Amino acid sequence: MRPIIRFSSTPLSRGISTSSTVLAAAKPKKATASSKNAKQGFNQKKKETTTGGSSGSGQSNVALKFSMAGQVPDLSDYPKLQPINFKSENVGRPTTFPKTTFDKLKLFGLSKKVEQELSANGGPASVIRQSTIDLAKQLDGSKAKSSKDARYVLTGERGSGKSMLLLQTVAYALESGWIVLFNPKATEWTNSSSHYIYDSQTQLFSQWQSAQSILSTLLAINKDKLDAIKLTSDIELAQGKTASKGSKLSDLVATGSKDDRVAVKVLDEVMAVLEKQTQFPVIWAIDEAQTLFTTSQYRTQEYTPIEPYHLSTPRLALDFVSGRRSFAKGTVLTSLSLSDPKNPLSPSLIDGLKLPTTQPITPYTRLDPYHSLHASSGLKKIEIPFNMSDEEISGLYKLLVRKGKTSNNQSDNLYMEIKSLSGGNPNEIKRGLSRLTAAITV
């Protein structure tokens, strides 16, 4: 039987005491006589008593002192995830994100799970896969053509690594001179977590908070490039404000990020400018994109559900995803996330993209015609395989062991066990190592 582990504190160290299943109460200690001259101060510490039963002939204690703590893993010998290393010969090789690049990625608002995974145990690192190289090539091929012809969606089973591949592609774009707009949590546009109000002029529900968030992030990441783009005409904004011809695009973005009264209008005008300019290629990357193709959690005053195409931010994204609007030079890259069971793929999206499903679409399945139209608008599917190649599995295993996800046991038996049990799926490999992590024994 595994012993119960109980943590107790001592004045100078962290203590761990183990006991049998049935705990016996500790014997009370005799009270000590107090002295009239006893001094109370920060230099004196009261003695702390530890409680716990006996195991065998007596209580067993293991003290874990700070000197015994494991060192932070050193990943400095790994190459950086930079464009020069996006080569086929590096497939399966662990790499680290450059600090400046990872700082920018965090500004976009990574999901809690992804940020914790990358930030802990030695810093952000990932493994270059063949799909990583293929996506970088797709990006290079989109530099000089319209995004209408470069609209992609990453599909695949849960845990196949779509979000990480999307993150690697965004990092590649950041290092390659692109104007980058990245939304890792598109679900926040439809989960009724921000304010909205009906705008009779646009006949949409205006979401000024999400518009401000997009604008402020766009400015923080791409200010140098936005400074170089000049407005070709005057732009009339709400509240009597005007963006003058010849002014910097960054000034217009800053105006919208600070003033919620004009944020939605400014975001639309900024995207219109980015559509026409040809100085820089533009990428709009969206994770959790399935939320654009299913009924939102927003409600009208009559409590009628609101569809994403009636909300200002999802509607703008759908314009670019469907090709109604496009960048003169750039690409739109989306990904379908299956990690949240509350946000599944809708039948309209499955039917429009012709995705495999365990719930077949029948003539009686209710489909939203607008969602089906958006899904079947020419999005090019990029299927991410469920399992990784042998080189990729080996690289991920080495990286996880280096980062301390398991013990230092790097035997062939453990590697083959993990490979067999996980089926080569990235997420299952991580879970498998976590389950096999050695427990503290005494």
Lowest mean pLDDT among 16-20, 98-102, 142-146, 339-343: 16-20
Return the pLDDT at 39: 44
Return the pLDDT at 358: 83
Cβ burial, residue 7 (10 Å; 0-12/13-18/19+): exposed
Which of the four pLDDT bands, split at 50, 70 and 90, describes residue 360? Answer: confident
Q: How far is the C-alpha of 126 from the C-alpha of 388, rounded, in Å?
A: 13
Is 256 in contact with 212 (CB distance < 8 Å)?
yes
One-character DSSP codes across 388-415: --HHHHHHHHHHHHHTTSS-S---HHHH
Q: What is the pLDDT of residues 370-425, one digit of tens each?
A: 999 999 999 999 999 999 999 999 999 889 888 877 655 556 777 888 888 888 89
Return the pLDDT at 346: 94
Q: How far is the C-alpha of 254 from the C-alpha of 65, rounded, in Å?
A: 50
> Can you point out the beta strands (E) in 116-164?
125-127, 151-155
Average pLDDT value for the chain: 84
Lowest mean pLDDT among 27-31, 126-130, 292-296, 393-397: 27-31
Residue 61 clears pLDDT 90, i.e. is over it? no
Q: Between 93 and 48, name the one with better pLDDT.
A: 93
Lowest mean pLDDT among 74-83, 203-212, 248-257, 413-422: 413-422
Return the pLDDT at 8: 40
The residue assigned the tokens 């959690």 is 297
Return the SS3 of 216.
Answer: helix
Return the pLDDT at 439: 39
Secondary element (H or E) of residue 350 = helix 347-353
Residue 63 clears pLDDT 60, i.e. is over it? no
Residue 173 clears pLDDT 60, i.e. is over it? yes
The residue type at 287: D
Work out whether the CA dihedral 223, 224, 227, 229 comes out positive or negative: negative
Return the pLDDT at 275: 97
Is 255 in contact with 231 (CB distance < 8 Å)?
no
Which of the four pLDDT bands, split at 50, 70 and 90, describes residue 34? Answer: very low
Q: Between 240 and 409, name the one with better pLDDT.
A: 240
Q: What is the pLDDT of residues 141-155, one digit of tens each?
A: 999 999 999 999 999
Q: What is the pLDDT of residues 299-337, one digit of tens each?
A: 999 999 999 999 999 999 999 999 999 999 999 999 999
Q: How far is the C-alpha of 374 from the C-alpha of 128, rounded, in Å?
A: 32
What is the pLDDT averaged over residues 174-195? 95
Return the pLDDT at 371: 96
What is the pLDDT averaged over residues 269-280? 97
Choose among 209, 244, 249: nearest CA to 226.
249
**Alpha carbon of 97 to those of 80, 106, 108, 327, 338: distances in Å?**
6, 12, 15, 28, 25
Q: What is the pLDDT of residues 36-55, one digit of tens each?
A: 444 444 444 444 444 444 44
Q: Between 425 and 58, name the one with better pLDDT.
A: 425
Q: How far is the C-alpha of 156 from the C-alpha of 339, rounded, in Å?
A: 12
Q: What percent of the chain is modeled with pLDDT above 70?
A: 81
One-character DSSP codes across 227-249: HH-B-SS-EE-GGG-EEPTTSBH
Return the pLDDT at 29: 53
Return the pLDDT at 3: 45
Domain residue extents for the chain: 132-383, 389-442
Return the pLDDT at 5: 42
Which of the four pLDDT bands, split at 50, 70 and 90, describes residue 88? Answer: very high
